[in-house]
Amino acid sequence: MRQLLEWRLDAQRYALDHHQIIRVERAAAVAPLPGAPSSILGVINVRGEILPVFDVRARFGLPTRAPQPGDQLVLVQTATRRLAFFADQVHSVAAWPDEALLDATSLGVQDATTAAVLRLSDGLVLIQDLDRFLAQDEAAWLDDALTAVQV
């Protein structure tokens, strides 16, 4: 069984493994990072920890927009770092049998961040691989920028 947290951007549904979720909070103000790649909105201070805020809308080719008051901030842990992103809606964690997950490439999904697809009676949920969110050059830039911010 896979425990997945479902979230939405516009009408599209996404999910992450629940063990990658730190917590979900209300939207917060983001401090910009000058010279940041378009995939990085800026940083937030969460209980004394400076976290980068990733623009998942830009990554998925959706129209970008400023965070709205009703948006939720999802704090996550990748294999190498903590980061945050905004979601329009976040739903509860649900358990799905491994057999319900389909290989993304077998369905023609070409997005590098999509690891699997959950086919439900009311649509598809794209299961994301957080470790693929940041390209290598973005991760290197972010490491340098966060070191400078925290000094």
pLDDT tens for residues 95-129? Answer: 999 888 988 877 777 778 898 999 888 989 999 99
Q: How far apart are CA 130 and CA 134, in angstroms?
A: 8
pLDDT at residue number 149: 66
Helix (H) or strand (E) segment spanning residue 118: strand 114-120
C-beta separation of 7 from 74 below 8 A: yes
User: How many domains would you assign to the chain?
Assistant: 1
> Is the pLDDT assigned to residue 22 strictly greater than 90?
yes
- For residue 52, give the CATH number of its domain: 2.40.50.180
CA distance 51 to 72: 15
Q: Do 4 and 18 contact (CB within 8 A), yes or no? A: yes
Q: Domain range spanning residue 19?
A: 2-150
Q: Provide CB contacts within 8 A for 49, sequence distance 6+.
A: 82
| pLDDT of the residue at 143 | 81
> Looking at this protein, which amino acid is placed at residue 47?
R
Of 55, 45, 116, 125, which is closest to residue 85 (Cα–Cα)?
55
Name the pLDDT band for 150 (thresholds 50, 70, 90): low
